């Protein structure tokens, strides 16, 4: 994993944060003492960049992008899902407005994901959109009352789409 920050990268930005992760996972399913039933492999890269903007009046927040690439493979007699590749792009924003004891928050994320399996001749794309709204009132020191509403979507994983055949 790696991460970093860049302070004041542009005129209207306070800072940018970068995070990157790499995963190389393997495990074996053993049956009957020493018989290999299946081997699960997952290799992935994930990166995220957050841009924190200068205040716009009383509004503070960030926006950014997230990327994921994952190769997944199960082999052996008990393989339940064919090899697949997943790629995902997400764009998001989180904003906050505060005035006296009142605070309002808004968040949104748009995501595009594709899942491919050459073995199954499978290629599907998904779009998802999530948002949240919140409001709070601080009526005493260390006391707050609030309300929020959200709607969340998540594209299906390769395992959900391809386990025991494409569907």
pLDDT, tens digit (0-9, with 9 covering 90-100), for 72-117: 999 988 888 999 999 999 999 999 999 999 999 999 999 999 999 9
Distance CA 162, CA 82 (A): 7
Give the pLDDT of residue 34: 83
* DSSP of 11-74: TTEEEEEEEEEEEEEEEEEEETTTEEEEEEEEEEEEEEEEEEEEEETTEEEEEEEEEEEEEEEE
Using CA atoms, how far residue 44 sits from 14, 68, 84, 158, 167, in Å, is 30, 7, 12, 13, 24
Q: What pLDDT score does 166 carry?
A: 75
pLDDT tens, residue by residue, 123-163? 999 999 999 999 999 999 899 999 999 999 999 999 999 98
More confident residue, 35 or 75: 75
pLDDT confidence of residue 10: 86
**In angstroms, rounded to a whole number, what is the distance separating the alpha carbons of residues 59 and 56?**
5
Q: What is the pTM assigned to this prediction?
A: 0.84
Which of 39-48, 55-64, 70-79 comes out lowest in average pLDDT? Answer: 70-79
- Cα(8)–Cα(142) distance, rounded to whole angstroms? 32
Is the confidence at residue 68, as pLDDT, over 80? yes
């Amino acid at each position: 994993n790696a991460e970093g920050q860049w302070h004041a990268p542009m005129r209207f930005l306070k800072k940018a944060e970068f995070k990157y992760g790499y995963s190389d996972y393997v495990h074996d399913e053993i049956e009957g003492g020493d018989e290999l039933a299946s081997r699960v492999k997952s290799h992935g890269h994930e990166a995220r960049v957050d841009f924190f903007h200068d205040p716009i009046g009383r509004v503070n927040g960030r926006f950014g992008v997230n990327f994921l690439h994952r190769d997944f493979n199960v082999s052996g007699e008990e393989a339940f899902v064919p090899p697949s590749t997943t790629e995902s792009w997400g764009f998001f924003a989180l904003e906050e407005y505060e005035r006296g004891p009142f605070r309002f928050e808004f968040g949104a994320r748009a995501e595009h994901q594709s899942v491919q399996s050459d073995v199954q001749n499978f290629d599907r794309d998904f779009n998802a959109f999530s948002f949240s709204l919140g409001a709070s009132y601080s009526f005493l020191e260390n006391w707050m009352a609030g309300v929020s509403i959200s709607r969340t979507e998540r594209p299906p994983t390769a395992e959900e789409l391809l386990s025991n055949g494409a569907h």
